[in-house]
Amino acid sequence: MPRSISIHPDRKQTVEDALKRNGFLTQGDFAAHIGKALSTVSNFFNAKKVAISTFEEICEVLGLDKREIQRSLQSDQEPEMIAIPDFFAYDDAWVGRENLVKELSDHLKVSCRLLILLGISGIGKTALAEKLAIDLQGWFDGNSKLLRANFDFGDKASDFVSVAFRWLEESGEKLSPENKKPEILLAMLVNYLRENRVLVLIDSLEKLLKVNDTENSNNFADEWWEKFFLNILATESCQGRIILTSQDLPVKLLVSRYNNFWHRQVLSGLSESEQVELFETTGLDVDEDSADKSLLIRIGKAYQGHPLVLRVIIGEILSEPFNGDVQAYWQDDRENTSQKIEEVEKALAEAKQGKTMGEDDEWQLHRLTREVQEQVNKQRLQVAFERLARDVKDAYILLCAASVYRAPEKEAYWLEHLAVWLRRLEQQSCGQERKNRAVDELRNRFLVEESLNHNKKRVLGQHNLIRSVAIEHRNQLSQTLKAGV
- Tens of pLDDT, residue by residue over 353-389, are 999 999 999 999 999 999 999 999 999 999 999 999 9
pLDDT at 251 over 70: yes
- ∠340-342-345 over CA atoms, to 5°? 115
Using CA atoms, how far apart are residues 282 and 53, in angstroms rounded to an integer?
12
Using CA atoms, how far apart are residues 407 and 170, in angstroms rounded to an integer?
50
Tell me: cis bond preceding 321? Omega within 30 of 0 counts: yes
Q: Lowest mean pLDDT: which of 89-93, 214-218, 396-400, 419-423?
A: 214-218
pLDDT at 155 over 80: no
Using CA atoms, how far apart are residues 260 and 242, in angstroms rounded to an integer?
14
pLDDT at 76 over 50: no
- Tens of pLDDT, residue by residue over 264-282, are 999 999 999 999 999 998 8
Query: Kind and range of the H or E element at 437?
Result: helix 432-444
Mean pLDDT value of segment 389-401: 94
pLDDT at 156 over 70: yes
Mean pLDDT value of segment 337-350: 95
pLDDT at 142 over 80: no
pLDDT band of residue 1 (cuts 50, 70, 90) is very low
- ∠340-474-305 over CA atoms, to 5°? 40
- Domain ranges for the chain, please list them: 4-77, 98-266, 371-483
Report the CATH fold assignment for 98-266: Rossmann fold (3.40.50)
Comparing CA positions, the residue from 444, 447, 449 lying closest to residue 217 is: 444
Q: DSSP states of 223-280 as a string?
A: HHHHHHHHHHHHSS----EEEEEESS--GGG--GGGGGGEEEEE-----HHHHHHHHH
Mean pLDDT value of segment 334-344: 93
CATH class of 371-483: mainly alpha
- Tens of pLDDT, residue by residue over 15-74, are 989 999 999 887 878 877 887 766 678 778 888 877 788 888 999 999 999 888 887 644
List of residues 6+ apart from 269 with CB closer than 8 A: 123, 303, 304, 305, 306, 307
SS3 of residue 449 by DSSP: strand
- Tens of pLDDT, residue by residue over 162-188, are 999 999 998 888 888 777 899 999 999
**CA 46, 49, 54, 56 torsion-angle sign:** positive
Using CA atoms, how far apart are residues 146 and 143, in angstroms rounded to an integer?
10
The pLDDT score that the predictor gives to residue 263 is: 96
Q: Which stretch, 77-86, 138-147, 363-372, 419-428, has highest mean pLDDT?
A: 363-372
In this prediction the pTM is 0.81
Domain 4-77 is classified in which CATH homologous superfamily? lambda repressor-like DNA-binding domains (1.10.260.40)
